Amino acid sequence: MGIDIKTGDYLTGSHELINASVPGRGAANVGGVVPFQNTATSGRIHNDCRTSILIVNGLIIFGFAHNTDSAPYHGWVFAYKYDTGTQKFVRSAYFCTTPNNSEGGVWQGGQGMASDGTSFYFTTGNGAYNPSDQAYSMAVIKMSFDFTIQDYFVPAAWQQYSNGDLDLGGCGPTLIPNTKYIFVGMTKYGSVHLIDKTNMGKFTANKDSCRQTIHLANGYVVPGGNPVVFQSSSNTKIFVWAPSNPIYEFTYNPTTEMLETPPVSWTGNRGGGGLQVSSDGASNPILWALSAGDIYAFDLTKSISSGPIWTERISGPSSWGWPTISNGKIYLPGYDSNMRIYGLANSTLSAV
């Protein structure tokens, strides 16, 4: 639904019940048809929309999974657009990740899909992978705007990871500016991937077929820690912060076209959280990091290991929350129904 940001009222014609079905013999099919279930009736549960919204080329694109892996379910991706004639939002395209199997949720730890304006990219969670049977769980998928799969990457150990509920799709993809590469991580299995979007590699047994895989943590890594990128005049850095891990800083090397290892890190808080970058072009870059009880600001002209230049203890922060920066102010969400707003006052950040 659409909301008038000036009044908070719903826009006329913006309410649209999301619905679809595809041919398939997968979980919860009815007579060879797999329905998208927009309610939790009849034991079919697909109605957990956790991805943020991608808006590109007039399309509103988002994904569905289900919380806690309550079977039966599938992953779904939808695109809607605004029809000026009817003044309504209409469904443009849709895709089911596992019509002949099950699972493959599209949730990405709350992050939206990524787009280069020509294609868009998303990740899927645990479940079946078998492209000959239209099953695309545990994958990074490149898709056209008419919802045709153009390419994908699946890790070599996808079956082991899937059996252990170690989703690849616990995070979303991030495009590295002015390169042909995608950064994905951290995954639930504790790795990050650098993927060539012109040749994603698909699947190869025994070895990951992407450009680079870097393993950072063993065991189950709680979802979240979606990456952000900052490109200065001298380098490109990618930051990621998953729970039980430090904030990692990767530097992309344009000569080798790989991430430099090992990454730099800041270990002052291992709670994980949401990241955002603000800057005035390439000047005054700040990395904002929102944890379960603190907000930090890091000067990106220095290494992340130097520590924050400002921090504030806060209460009531949200799970999987991201800082939002606009007009020199930073907005922080909270479980307690309050929005916290900070801005510069006499060259010092303070609540406003």
Residue 96 CB contacts under 8 Å (≥ 6 apart), including other chains: 20, 22, 24, 34, 36, 74, 75, 76
Residue with tokens 């099953």: 135
- Give the angle subtended at the CA of 223 by the CAs of 139 and 153, to the nearest 5°: 15
Query: Is the separation of the CB atoms in 207 and 251 below 8 Å?
Result: no
Q: What is the pLDDT along the chain (352 residues), one digit of tens a residue?
A: 677 777 878 777 667 778 899 999 999 899 999 998 766 555 545 567 889 999 999 999 999 998 777 788 899 999 999 888 877 788 999 999 999 999 999 999 889 999 999 999 999 999 999 999 999 999 999 999 999 999 999 999 999 999 999 999 999 999 999 999 999 999 999 999 999 999 999 999 999 999 999 999 988 887 666 899 999 988 999 999 998 899 999 999 999 999 999 999 999 999 888 999 998 888 889 999 998 778 999 999 999 999 999 998 877 656 667 888 888 888 887 767 778 888 766 556 666 6
Query: Is the separation of the CB atoms in 285 and 325 below 8 Å?
Result: no
Query: What tens digit of pLDDT does each residue of 253-311 get?
Result: 999 999 999 999 999 999 888 999 998 888 889 999 998 778 999 999 999 999 999 99
pTM: 0.92
Q: How long a stretch of residues is the chain? A: 352
Q: CATH number for the 227-352 domain, one of 3.90.180.10, 2.130.10.10, 3.40.50.2020, 3.20.20.80?
A: 2.130.10.10
Residue 165 to residue 126: CA distance in whole angstroms: 6
Q: What residue spans define the domains of the chain?
A: 1-172, 227-352
Residue 245 to residue 256: CA distance in whole angstroms: 27
Query: What tens digit of pLDDT does each residue of 45-66 get?
Result: 556 788 999 999 999 999 999 8
- Report which residue type is found at 329: K
Burial of 147 (0-12, 13-18, 19+ CB in 10 A): middle
- Give the angle subtended at the CA of 264 by the CAs of 295 and 316, to the nearest 5°: 15
Q: Quick one: tokens of 60?
A: 């509103």
- Residues 303, 308, 310, 315, CA torsion sign: positive
Nearest C-alpha neighbor of 47 from the set 67, 62, 27: 67
CA-based end-to-end distance of the chain:
30
**What does the pLDDT read at residue 327?**
84
- Report which residue type is found at 338: N
Residue 214 to residue 222: CA distance in whole angstroms: 17
Nearest C-alpha neighbor of 294 from the set 340, 338, 263, 327: 340
Mean pLDDT value across the chain: 89
Residue 127 Cα distances to 41, 121, 155, 310, 350, angstroms: 22, 19, 13, 42, 46
